[in-house]
Amino acid sequence: MSQYSHLFTPLNLGFTTLKNRALMGSMHTGLEEHHDAPERLAAFYAERAAGGVSLIVTGGIAPNLAGCMFAGSTMLNDEAQIVRHRPITQAVHANGGKIALQILHTGRYAYHADAVAPSPITSPISPFTPRELSHVEIEQTIADFAHTASLAQRAGYDGVEIMGSEGYLINQFLVARTNQRQDHWGGSVANRQRFAIEIAKAVRAALGPNSIVIFRISLLDLVENGGTLAEAIELAQALELAGVTLLNTGIGWHEARIPTIAATVPRGAYSWVTRALKPHVGVPLIAVNRISTPEIAEEILAKGDADVVSLARPLLADPEYLLKAQSNNALEINTCIACNQACLDHVFEGKPASCLVNPRACRETELNVVLSSLAKTVAVVGAGPAGLSAALTAAQAGHVVTLFEADAQIGGQFGLAQNIPAKAEFAETLRYFSVMLAKYKVNIQLNQRVSATSLAGKFDEVIVATGVIPRMAQIAGIDHPSVVAYPDLIAGKVVPKRKIAIIGAGGIGVDVADYLVNGLHTGVEGQGSAYLAEWGVDTTLNSQGGLCAPVTHAPEREVWLLKRSKGKPGAGPGRTTGWIHRIGLQRSGVHLWGSVEYLKIDDDGLHLRHDGEEKCLPVEQIIVCAGQESVNSLYTELMSLQQSVHLIGGALEAGELDAKRAIEQGFLTALSL
């Protein structure tokens, strides 16, 4: 019997029963537009259905040309398109699941010249000014939603989700921020809600009484001049009367400057918003965002915050999340660390989504671990993310694996990074590897520095994943006692001072700055109230958009984050998370300086030239984050001894530390043995 009693209690929807209370939330994978989308999406969703997901919601599909995210993105508005969807629905049904198509009209978020909206107001996240929809076009758009729903039903979908949140078209009609009309579709609250309600009615009529209709409703816009809870309650009650089966509670517009799903957000941080709606409607409610572990999901359901939880990225990271939880093997779950680096970042770069901790995600048709016909003896040297990935994958393929690590614990740079507030979730990945390496009987040798002669001829294959060492900057006085290498600081070997300069503002420099000003806070559960206060979320839900003045704290340290190149530093490498880092550092009073020329270091501090002016920062400590150098001499020596050897991770390419690349390289190298 699983310890997660609420998570696996069936949910009766009247005409259908879901076997558990977790669904797979909508997530655009970037596969939708590929020529082989039917095959790849079928494999992707089927694996999640086989892993215990009772209901899957697809990525957003446009009901018409104007609603597309970009020119050429996927629509379902013609019978000829049905054939691309049937393999997907058939695969999910064959594996015991149900699937709903999300209908999404982007409105002013569209990244093309044919964008439309309730009013011609440009979005801050798109360069295109939308055209205002006419009354006739609004009526046609409602009909288009219903037509797409009908086509989805014919394609085998068990229902649809109407995307009415996150700042897309329906959400744009709901609030005065984006709807400045004075006709039948704007002005009063009732008029602004009419579009959403009419769509729900039309979709229900098109599908009949026995299909699932989910409406994703925005409960917390997190933008100025957004909606209120009272308005959301009024809309939710009207949607229930219109025949909606489930209400999925969306949090935050895409243009909002408050994080909602990044690792800085505490786990389950927004379920209290769903709870605020619960007494006012009779249909089941779905909670979303940062429900990364079964414990968080179970807690949300046990407290009565929601009737269902939505899991998106957690099922990208581990398709067997629910199966492992139900069989009391939750420690084997490959937990989502909310990094966004291979999922959202990829999609925004026009690439198919994947997952940093699971390189197979969205590549299920091409990457599979199968037992090797010839079991080999394999040595993996280095237990950072690349080595851990290689060791586990090789063992899963049936090889006999020994993992050597010079340190007293596994993790390498990844283990070091878990001390950074925004990367506390990295500990989950190390827990996963520890459990799985033991399960597959990998022989782990800690505190073991190996030589080429001790390995050559003893193993069929050697994988060198010896990582990197910090590069010291070439500055006069770099050997001054005030200078500290970043690993010593993050590992706790050095106590931080009150006035600190950070040389180098790449990802590591940003992490160090975060550690210095936010080191007592983490992105895991238990910090929800502090997080909401610091970012200015109105927990009373009385204000428009759910905003209030952020609570600020006097910084404990004065920190300068410095870089040689032009521009203000502080974003780090993440495309969808960089702004979060920069805002957080600015609020903590970190000085963000670009165009810096380092002159010398002495007892007075760090001498530099900034914007053409020579200055001396009177700092007590200087943290060097000036890049890394690969450690790969072992590889060279093994090659000279004619040992079959592979080089991966930071040992192959130092650059900006990249756990995504490291884990993928380890995985692919092990598959190639």
For residue 647, give the amino acid letter. L
Range with the lowest mean pLDDT among 291-295, 412-416, 535-539, 545-549? 412-416
Does residue 575 surpass a pLDDT of 80?
no
Which of these is catalytic: 45, 109, 157, 168? 168
Paired strand residues for 622 = 483, 501
pLDDT in the model for residue 173 = 98
Inter-residue contact 628 to 657 (CB < 8 Å): yes
SS3 546: helix
pLDDT in the model for residue 520 = 43
Does residue 525 surpass a pLDDT of 80?
no
The CATH H-level (homologous superfamily) assignment of domain 11-348 is Aldolase class I (3.20.20.70)
pLDDT in the model for residue 572 = 64
Q: CATH number of the domain at 377-467+631-671, out of 3.40.50.2300, 3.20.20.80, 3.90.480.20, 3.40.50.720? A: 3.40.50.720
Q: How far apart are CA 397 and CA 367, in angstroms?
A: 12
Range with the lowest mean pLDDT among 5-9, 404-408, 471-475? 471-475
Q: Where are the domains of the chain?
A: 11-348, 377-467+631-671, 472-626
Buried b / exposed e along 119-150 (16+ C-beta atoms within 10 A): beeebeebeeebeebeeeebeebbbbbbbbbb
Of the candidates 251, 264, 322, the residue with the CA atom closest to the CA atom of residue 293: 322
- pLDDT above 90 coverage of the chain, percent: 86
**What's the whole-number mean pLDDT along residues 105-123?**
97
DSSP 40-74: HHHHHHHHHHHTT-SEEEEEEEBSSGGG-SBTT--
**For residue range 319-336, what is the model confidence (pLDDT) as tens digits?**
999 999 999 999 999 999
SS3 324: helix
pLDDT in the model for residue 52 = 95
Q: Would you place residue 649 in the very low, low, confident or very high pLDDT band (cuts 50, 70, 90)?
A: very high
**For residue range 494-520, what is the model confidence (pLDDT) as tens digits?**
999 999 999 999 889 999 999 998 864
SS3 347: helix
**For residue range 418-465, what is the model confidence (pLDDT) as tens digits?**
999 889 999 999 999 999 999 999 999 999 999 999 999 999 999 999
Give all strands (DSSP E) within 321-383, no chain letters.
377-381
Average pLDDT score, the chain: 94
Q: Give residue 350's region: left, alpha or beta (phi > 0; psi -120 to 50).
A: left
The CATH H-level (homologous superfamily) assignment of domain 472-626 is FAD/NAD(P)-binding domain (3.50.50.60)
Higher model confidence: residue 154 or residue 579? 154
pLDDT in the model for residue 656 = 67
Does residue 553 surpass a pLDDT of 60?
yes
pLDDT in the model for residue 1 = 59
β 468-470/628-630 pair status: antiparallel
Which segments of 458-506 does DSSP mark as H helices, in order? Answer: 486-490
Q: Would you place residue 522 in the very low, low, confident or very high pLDDT band (cuts 50, 70, 90)?
A: very low
Cα–Cα distance list, 150 to 60, 202, 490, 525 (Å):
16, 10, 56, 42
Inter-residue contact 289 to 546 (CB < 8 Å): no
**For residue range 145-168, what is the model confidence (pLDDT) as tens digits?**
999 999 999 999 999 999 999 999
**For residue range 223-262, what is the model confidence (pLDDT) as tens digits?**
999 999 999 999 999 999 999 999 999 999 999 999 999 9
- 289 CB contacts (<8 Å, ≥6 apart)? 251, 260, 261, 265, 268, 269, 270
**For residue range 346-402, what is the model confidence (pLDDT) as tens digits?**
888 888 999 999 999 999 999 999 999 999 999 999 999 999 999 999 999 999 999
Q: Would you place residue 566 in the very low, low, confident or very high pLDDT band (cuts 50, 70, 90)?
A: confident
Of the candidates 417, 445, 440, the residue with the CA atom closest to the CA atom of residue 430: 417
**For residue range 44-99, what is the model confidence (pLDDT) as tens digits?**
999 999 999 999 999 999 999 999 999 989 999 999 999 999 999 999 999 999 99
pLDDT in the model for residue 658 = 84
**For residue range 287-315, what is the model confidence (pLDDT) as tens digits?**
999 999 999 999 999 999 999 999 999 99
- 7 CB contacts (<8 Å, ≥6 apart)? 20, 21, 22, 294, 297, 298, 301, 309, 322, 325
Q: Would you place residue 555 in the very low, low, confident or very high pLDDT band (cuts 50, 70, 90)?
A: confident
Q: How far apart are CA 408 and CA 430, in angstroms?
A: 14
Annotated catalytic, 168? yes
CA Rg, the chain, in Å?
26
Does residue 590 surpass a pLDDT of 70?
yes
Of the candidates 469, 512, 493, 519, the residue with the CA atom closest to the CA atom of residue 623: 512
Does residue 521 surpass a pLDDT of 60?
no
* Number of other CB atoms surrounding residue 553 within 10 Å: 13
